[in-house]
Structure 1
Amino acid sequence: MGVSGCGKSTVGQALASELDVPYIEGDLFHPDANVAKMSAGMPLNDDDRAGWLLALQAQIRAARQDDAGLVLSCSALKRRYRDLLRQGDPALRFAHLAGAKELISARMQARVNHYMPPSLLDSQFRDLEPLQDDEAGVTLDIGIAPELLVAQILGEVQRQA
């Protein structure tokens, strides 16, 4: 979880590979209307995100029902979004990829063919509610290499097992 440009896809894919479980890119579940809105530089609101979050919750629930592992990347910016996702699997854990706005902005400006413009980063930081003490998960500093972030997540998973 984290704001756009923090490395969710890169870390998520690498983590899924290490765990030998499926990876789901949450952005692929946004309806066309959401993509168009973000592409136009307009931030999503809670109503825009509702159906998207329910679709992700269904993916989480299906993995839980199949007793299968899963790594899913999505912003999950607000506590209530994470609570909704946890309804798919109460044992769901989050890795919050956190970092300085300047670093993330530079990453967003460097990427190509992505619908999320850097101009929406401020709105993402405004909406961001970091993991709370009672939420299962870990907050990680994206200033380190993705493979080290994966190692930290794996260490956390082993500690919580």
Structure 2
Amino acid sequence: MTGEPSTRHIVVMGVSGAGKTTVAHGIAASTGLSFAEADEFHSEANVARMRAGVPLDDEARWPWLRALADWMASRHREGVSTVLACSALKRSYRDVLRQGPPSVEFVHLDGPTEVIRQRMSIRTHRYMPASLLDSQTATLERLWPDEQGVVLDLQLSSDELVTAAVEQLGLPVRQVSATEPHP
């Protein structure tokens, strides 16, 4: 026994419009894992750049990814399991995230670009214009065989995706009492 707390750290990944935030929220509600939205960790400069339709380069992403890894590592030290909605498009980005807690598992929401583009056309995002979808799709590196995680078809309903993620990762489902408000 190392004295390390036993925690789980899940990153729901994929391009913008794949449904990461919705699915990560659903996993948090089902399991009690602490939720974070990676977009909230971007610097003002990164947000301004994306708002202007300029894709982030790796130089702009490294501090952001390190902040996310630090957030998960801090929660791990507190004994708190997490679920993070984060694009995590490249293996090298996921490698940085894995430098935080002892173990990180990924849920890759994957599917046709046309479906994602259609979703993005009917939603609003504070700073992620649909015009950046092509650069994200070009950047995306699917999970490598040695990476812990699952790939799910983003064409499933949100509820089906949450259920599949929880079941395939073997996450414990939180018991909700009759008096507790449902999320």
TM-score band w.r.t. shorter chain: over 0.9
Is the partner of 1:76 in helix, strand or coil? coil
Change (3 A) 1:106 1:73: same
The TM-score, its normalising length taken from structure 1, stands at: 0.95
Q: 1:8 is matched with which residue: 16, 20, 23?
A: 20
Q: What's 2:73 paired with?
A: 61
Q: What's 2:49 paired with?
A: 37
2:103 aligned partner, one-letter code? A
In structure 1, how many angstroms separate the alpha carbons of the residues matched to 2:86 and 2:75?
16
In structure 1, how many angstroms separate the alpha carbons of the residues matched to 2:17 and 2:26?
16
The answer on 1:146 being equivalent to 2:158 is yes
Identical positions, percent: 47
1:97 aligned partner, one-letter code? L
Change (3 A) 1:22 1:123: same
Q: 2:37 is matched with which residue: 25, 37, 44?
A: 25
Is the partner of 2:53 in helix, strand or coil? coil
2:19 aligned partner, one-letter code? G
Q: Deviations over 1:20-53 (max 9, x none)?
A: 1211011011111111111111100000101110
In structure 2, how many angstroms separate the alpha carbons of the residues matched to 1:102 and 1:41?
19
Q: What's 1:105 paired with?
A: 117
Is the partner of 1:102 in helix, strand or coil? helix
In structure 2, how many angstroms separate the alpha carbons of the residues matched to 1:5 and 1:117?
10
Q: What's 1:87 paired with?
A: 99
1:11 aligned partner, one-letter code? V
In structure 1, stretches of 5+ residues that fail to align are: none
Q: What's 2:10 paired with?
A: none
The TM-score, its normalising length taken from structure 2, stands at: 0.84
1:84 aligned partner, one-letter code? V
In structure 2, how many angstroms separate the alpha carbons of the residues matched to 1:8 and 1:154?
14
Which stretches of structure 1, 4 residues or more, deviate above 2 A after TM superposition? none
In structure 2, how many angstroms separate the alpha carbons of the residues matched to 1:82 and 1:23?
18
Change (3 A) 1:106 1:114: farther
In structure 2, how many angstroms separate the alpha carbons of the residues matched to 1:152 and 1:35?
32
